């Protein structure tokens, strides 16, 4: 089941009705849990068994980790949890990828090995709920929070349908306490939640699917050279598509949860207004960035063991972050490019910033890097035009990385990069003038709006508008969503 479907509208209306009935809080939680399983089962019912297995094992292992006094037994329990969760993730998501690369390696060594291609179905959202349960057992091992008392609360934490298949990636302290006491949305929360849901669907259905997807698909599926205008239009279209698609889901998820009285963590904060690449990762997929920081970068040593080790830790984090997105070497290159960007940025800032200032960017910094946007010349002096130029440069360099993220092969990626640079001569036009203008207008408005709102939120901005202006904009979004509904597709991040 997806948010951008009429089935979900009916489903959500029933959930809202049941959640606001005068019944016991435990009964409401059971309703939410069953609804979450139904929401997930709409894709493939047998995969509910994976959710149950992960939930039950980590609930009891987490409790044992917290109470077990023997250090060696605690480590063994943690290993069991890691093997169970990561083993399941590796099999379903990376099984075919690992086998394919093993075959290439054996053939390169002169061994003629050609096994049957595995027929493995990727469960929707497995990367998201695996990271969700992993953070619980790791926290229990480090005793950073107390075990969840109720299996019902823990099950609901893992499977709560707004965040289940595409995030935000939540942690127990962020959500479990909200299940412990009765919650019902206030009138303001309900209105804010419905507004966020409408905005998220508008971003997904109207902007991502109806206006940008066709152009991006045409360029990235083209075999051969393209003119620079076509190539850049396709790359810019995908940069907008993936933002509106993923941020649209997160915005919808936060809105749906808010309608029920629950608060989910922010996952996007105008990332294309970022000034620098560390700033980008403080704004893009925030819950994944902080997860990688807390459970990978810092445990590896963070920036506590000298500059060389810091650079290694940073690159490893970004490479694994790239591989998390998909079982393809193109995703690893995408992560590696971001790692190189961060290396260069950090090297420049290390040469400019005094040691006393650098000392403030320890392992408790918002992301696994110590750079901050305030270090960028022009931004710190309040020169907004200069800051916008830095943000635009950051955006264009990020667009280069999206080429590898979207391309299915390295050959396609190199061909498109060559077209971007204008090295492909005599290529016939692929896109219509209307499509190119449409992409230009949408991306330009996106960049301007994100930069102007980089230090505020949608709800704060909406609260400052006259009611009739807000009402008109909201009504326009709803009308466009209905008119564009036929173009709605599954969310891109469901495959991750």
Kindly state whether residues 282 and 171 are assigned to the same domain.
Answer: no
Establish if 87 belongs to a structural domain. yes
- On whether residue 9 sits in a domain, the answer given is no
- The whole-angstrom distance between residue 291's C-alpha and the CA centroid of its chain comes to 11
Q: Which of 153, 177, 201 is the last residue of a domain?
A: 177
Q: Count up the domains in the chain and report the number.
A: 2
In this prediction, residue 488 carries a pLDDT of 53
Hey, what are 299's tokens? 């445990």
Residue 256 token pair: 């749906």
Quick check: is 445 in a domain? yes
CA nearest 343: which of 296, 310, 367, 366? 310
Residue 6 located in a structural domain: no
368: in domain: yes
Asked, for residue 483, whether it belongs to a domain, the answer is: no
Do 148 and 277 sit in the same domain of this protein?
no
Residue 124 lies in domain: 21-177
In whole angstroms, give the CA distance from residue 37 to residue 155. Answer: 10
Residue 236 in any domain: the answer is no
Q: How far apart are CA 12 and CA 88, in angstroms?
A: 30
Taking only the tens of pLDDT, the chain with its 496 residues reads: 788 888 889 999 999 999 999 999 999 999 999 999 999 888 788 888 888 988 999 999 999 999 888 888 889 998 988 888 888 888 888 888 888 888 888 888 888 877 877 777 778 788 888 888 999 999 999 888 889 989 999 999 999 999 988 879 999 999 999 999 999 999 999 999 999 999 999 999 999 999 999 999 999 998 888 888 999 999 999 999 999 999 999 999 999 999 999 999 999 999 999 999 999 999 999 999 999 999 999 989 888 888 888 889 999 999 999 998 888 899 999 999 999 999 999 888 877 765 544 343 444 443 444 333 333 433 333 456 778 888 999 999 999 999 999 998 898 999 999 888 877 665 778 889 999 999 999 999 999 999 999 888 899 989 888 989 999 999 999 999 988 876 556 666 666 5
Per-residue model confidence as pLDDT tens digits over 342-359 = 999 988 887 776 554 434
Kindly state whether residue 36 falls inside one of the protein's structural domains. yes
Token pair of 471 as six digits: 């009402």
Q: Which domain-ending residue is among 122, 153, 177?
A: 177
pLDDT of 229 reads: 92
Cα(340)–Cα(323) distance, integer angstroms: 16
Select from 74, 77, 64, 34 the least CA-distant residue to 52. Answer: 34
Q: Examine the domain organization and report whether 276 and 129 are in the same domain.
A: no
- Concerning whether 114 is annotated as a catalytic residue, the answer is no
Is the sign of the CA dihedral 400, 401, 406, 410 positive or negative?
positive
Residue ending a domain, among 152, 177, 202, is 177
Please check whether residues 275 and 173 belong to one and the same domain. Answer: no
State the average pLDDT for the chain: 86
Q: Active site residue: 19, 285, 325, 338, which one?
A: 325
DSSP 211: I
């Amino acid at each position: 089941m997806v948010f951008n479907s009429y089935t979900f509208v009916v489903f959500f209306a029933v959930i809202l009705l049941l959640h606001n009935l005068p019944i016991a809080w435990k009964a409401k939680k059971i309703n939410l849990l069953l609804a979450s399983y139904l929401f997930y089962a709409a894709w493939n019912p047998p995969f509910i068994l994976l959710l149950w297995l992960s939930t039950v094992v980590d609930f009891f292992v987490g409790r044992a980790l917290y109470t077990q006094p023997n250090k060696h037994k605690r480590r063994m329990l943690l290993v069991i949890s890691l093997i169970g969760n990561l083993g399941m993730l590796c099999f379903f998501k990376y099984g075919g990828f690992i086998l394919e690369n093993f075959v290439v390696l054996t053939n390169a060594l002169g061994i003629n090995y050609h096994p049957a291609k595995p027929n493995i179905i990727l469960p929707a959202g497995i990367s998201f709920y695996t990271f969700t349960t992993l953070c619980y057992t790791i926290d229990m091992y480090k005793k950073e929070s107390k075990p969840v008392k109720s299996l019902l609360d823990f099950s609901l934490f893992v499977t709560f349908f707004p965040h289940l298949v595409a995030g935000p990636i939540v942690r127990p302290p962020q959500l479990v306490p909200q299940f412990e006491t009765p919650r019902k949305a206030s009138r303001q929360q309900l209105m804010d939640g419905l507004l966020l849901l409408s905005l998220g669907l508008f971003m997904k259905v109207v902007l991502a699917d109806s206006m940008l997807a066709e152009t991006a698909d045409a360029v990235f599926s083209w075999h051969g050279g393209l003119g620079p205008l076509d190539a850049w239009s396709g790359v810019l279209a995908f940069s907008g598509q993936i933002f509106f698609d993923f941020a649209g889901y997160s915005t919808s998820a936060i809105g749906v949860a808010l309608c029920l009285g629950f608060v989910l963590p922010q996952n996007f904060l105008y990332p294309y207004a970022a000034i620098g690449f560390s700033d980008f990762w403080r704004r893009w997929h925030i819950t994944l960035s902080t997860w990688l920081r807390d459970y990978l970068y810092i445990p590896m040593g963070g920036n506590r063991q000298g500059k060389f080790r810091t650079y290694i830790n940073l690159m490893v984090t970004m490479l694994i972050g790239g591989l998390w997105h998909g079982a393809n070497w193109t995703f690893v290159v995408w992560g590696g490019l971001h790692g190189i960007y961060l290396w260069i940025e950090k090297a420049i800032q290390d040469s400019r910033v005094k040691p006393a200032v650098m000392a403030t960017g320890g392992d408790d910094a918002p992301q696994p890097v110590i750079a901050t946007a305030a270090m960028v010349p022009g931004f710190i002096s309040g020169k907004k035009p200069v800051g916008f130029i830095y943000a635009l440069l950051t955006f264009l360099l990020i667009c280069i990385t999206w080429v590898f993220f979207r391309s299915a092969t390295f050959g396609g990626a190199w061909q498109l990069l060559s077209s971007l640079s204008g090295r492909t001569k005599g290529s016939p036009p692929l896109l219509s003038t209307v499509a190119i203008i449409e992409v230009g207008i949408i991306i330009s408005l996106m960049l301007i709006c994100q930069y102007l709102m980089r230090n505020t939120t949608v709800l704060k901005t909406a609260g400052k508008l006259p009611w009739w202006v807000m009402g008109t904009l909201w009504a326009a979004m709803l009308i466009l969503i209905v008119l564009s509904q036929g173009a709605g597709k599954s969310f891109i991040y469901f495959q991750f």
